[in-house]
Every structure is written in C-alpha cells, then in structure tokens.
Copies of this chain bind each other. A is one copy, B any other.
Amino acid sequence: MTEPLDATFAALADPTRRAILVMLLEDDMAVTDVADPFEMSLAAISKHLGILMRAGLISQEKRGRVKWCKLEPDALRDASIWMQSFGQFEAVNLEAFEAFLEAELGGAGD
C-alpha cells in the first residue's frame, strides 16, 4: 500500500466498509454500535475500522472507554477527483481536459 490512493480504493472495495461509511454519514458512532448490525465479530469490525482509519476515511477519538468514529471525507474527495477525470469526460486528451477544467473553475467558481 504505497500510495494514499491505494489505501483509499482498497478500503472502499469492501462492502462492509462501505456500509460503515454510509452509517457514519448520519452520525458519529461508537465502535460497538457500528458493529451491531453486522453478523461478524466485534474484532472483525474493529479491523475494518482500522483499515478505514489508515486510509484516512474516518477518524477515531476515545472519550472515556468509548471510541467514537467520525467520517472524514477528505480522502474520499481525493479519490473522487481521480475518478472524475474518467467518469465525466470520455477519452479526452489531457490538454482538452485541462482547458475544460480551467473554464469550469474560472466560470462557476463553485
């Protein structure tokens, strides 16, 4: 796992981990509560959370004996940027794509 994108995409490749991210979209959660809907051991969920953390997709903060998990969308944004270069623009050459982006950013700004 040399590059950050490797870790991000690898983390997203597992359906359990994606489900966890969706859950965290609504609210921060304790590890035990994250594990609750899944039919696997708490230790397994703990591992998944570790992977999500190392990928930068979530952060964890311990308050008392409870460890709270929080979504961190920054890493997702990086991966999203990479993907949008393929998903939105069909087989364009680099120059045309850059020109398009410059226009896009210069105009809308949003």
Contacts and interface: CB of A to CB of B under 8 A. Distances in A.
Interface of A: 2-3, 5-6, 9-10, 12-15, 18, 21-22, 25-26, 71, 73, 76-94, 96-98, 100-105, 107-108, 110
Identical chains in the assembly: 2
Given A73-B87, A73-B90, A81-B93, A103 B12 contact: no
B77 A91 contact: no
B71 A97 contact: no
Contact of A13 (B13, B81, B97, B100): B13
Given A85-B92, A94-B102, 14 more contacts: A6-B13, A9-B12, A12-B83, A25-B94, A76-B89, A77-B88, A78-B96, A80-B83, A80-B87, A81-B100, A83-B83, A84-B92, A92-B105, A93-B105
16 contacts: A5-B100, A6-B13, A10-B13, A12-B83, A13-B13, A25-B85, A73-B87, A77-B88, A78-B96, A79-B87, A80-B83, A82-B100, A91-B110, A92-B101, A94-B98, A94-B102
